[in-house]
Chain A
């Protein structure tokens, strides 16, 4: 693998040299946006990096090539970082310095008189990785030094199918330098073909759309997130850019929150093992985690609001109440459907000749004669039944309807005699009271009402329950709490 890489690196270097030869004058103006603002980064000073110019287009291939080179260096360094929390930029700078120092970079630099700016400080202090300070005879050796499956863009161009395991993720990130091939493999674990277009401005205005495209094209949002993170580190030149990238990530991650936790964590793990570039990236990660949790709890709260009798505020009881409420709503819907069906049948029935009608009515009228009711055509089709239970602060109402009988259980917790009001309400609802039982039990009033629905009434369970609770609560509010005993 490394041989291939080194071979490609050779090619890359050659192409780079060509480009350098072509465009010497603008080389000093090369945009190296991935150089961060680390003050320790002496190279930055030497190269006269202008963060403000990051948004300028790179007009030459040489500039882009140089940037690519820088990217690769950065990537290498980032790989080396591992779980190192130190500011990678320092190491990156040193690493790049080391690489440059040891490589024949100077050879490339010599093409341009202005390239002397690129003679980096030999002040290689603490390089945290074990890069032997050997001269860089050939590219293969240098690459062999670093156990990194880094590939250069030209490598991508030449061998799109043989990218290394890990490098595929880097490839994709490198691809942000140029136009992203929509054929980028979404899994990040397979080879991906990224077309490197050196002419394309690799600066950040085009990147967010590319990022978004990539996100949208990915089934694993977590993977995209990983990509973004890497990209953030890759282009962590200026603080602004990083924030911009992170902002993009954040926006896109909004869409990702719905994805499997597993996916998210997978990508998180991958991110963590590959790079902890700086505190900024990890903080961003915890921010999205927190954001995800906040969104989650918001959903639970909105579910709770839909439920009429929420009990406790913990998630389990919210879900339990939601289940009960959904079942209740389903029962109500069924009940209403049966009612409308009955109503429609009765309407048709009423259109028949009147004599026949009278006979039926008299039979219906006899409350005790259930047989008469059985003869009604519509009764045979469906037995209406529903049940619901409602609670308010002081009152519990349980309404059960079977066919045309309504049973209401009422528990009133505040010693307010609601018998009369309830009876009135039931009358208003066209319910014929047949049985009432109940009384004072301790401090509660408890009643059981048995009533019959009058013929033709369209009352249904939830209407009864709601009305009852409303009335009783009104009474409670109206009566002063001076039942002193």
Chain B
């Protein structure tokens, strides 16, 4: 095995592996298409369980807190129950719609309950946020999640 053959073999092997990956993924895709219908049964089971859990913890209804920190910064905390699959994304979307710059965020899920802690900053030159309005807005969002 000299250098030239090593390189040549490497090229051939990489191409071979790539072909394998493609074949397998096509195969998988085909199999998935055949069974996609059956996957929808699952969601119904999820909701009943999470409600039970929430009750266990004392989380009755979603909680939203919006607090101003000095300057143009907001601190948002939300606790709610995650029901649907795309729920978190909706929350994130809502936060993005506020028009603030995200400084950092932490979203944690445990047994169906979601804790969202976000630190937002006002975009330079933007309007000074009204905490109460934001709170209400988020409350609505969270309820629908």
Contacts and interface: CB of A to CB of B under 8 A. Distances in A.
Contact of A367 (B44, B104, B112): B112
A436 B112 CA distance: 15
Contact of B25 (A307, A423, A424, A460): A460
Interface stretch (B7-15, B73-81, B127-135): B7-15
Interface in B9-29: 10-11, 13-15, 17-18, 20-21, 24-25, 27-29
A439 B13 contact: no
Interface in B39-98: 39, 41-46, 49, 53, 85-86, 88-89, 92-93, 96
Contacts of B110: 368
Contacts of A135: none
A326 interface: yes
B4 A333 contact: no
A438 interface: yes
Given A302-B11, A419-B92, A458-B32, A366 B46 contact: yes
B31 A333 contact: no
Nearest to A435: B108
B31 A340 contact: yes
Nearest to A330: B17
A83 to B, nearest CB: 29
B17 to A, nearest CB: 4
A336 interface: yes
Contacts, number: 166
Nearest to B117: A437
A454 B42 CA distance: 9
Nearest to B23: A336
Contacts of A346: 35
A343 B17 contact: no
B7 A299 contact: yes
Interface string A313-350: 00000010010011001101100110110011011001
Interface stretch (A22-30, A69-77, A254-262, A393-401): A254-262
Given A258-B4, A365-B42, A454 B102 contact: no
A450 B32 CA distance: 23
Contacts of B28: 336, 339-340, 343, 458, 460
B7 A433 contact: no
B136 interface: no
Given A322-B14, A340-B31, A260 B20 contact: no
A333 B105 contact: no
Nearest to A262: B2
A455 B7 contact: no
A436 B88 contact: yes
Given A258-B4, A439-B103, A365 B11 contact: no
8 contacts: A258-B4, A302-B11, A336-B24, A339-B24, A340-B31, A365-B42, A365-B43, A423-B89
Which 8 residue pairs spanning A and B have beta carbons closest together?
Answer: A439-B104, A365-B45, A336-B24, A329-B17, A362-B45, A436-B107, A456-B39, A434-B109
Given A433-B88, A456-B32, 7 more contacts: A258-B2, A303-B10, A326-B10, A364-B42, A368-B112, A434-B109, A458-B31
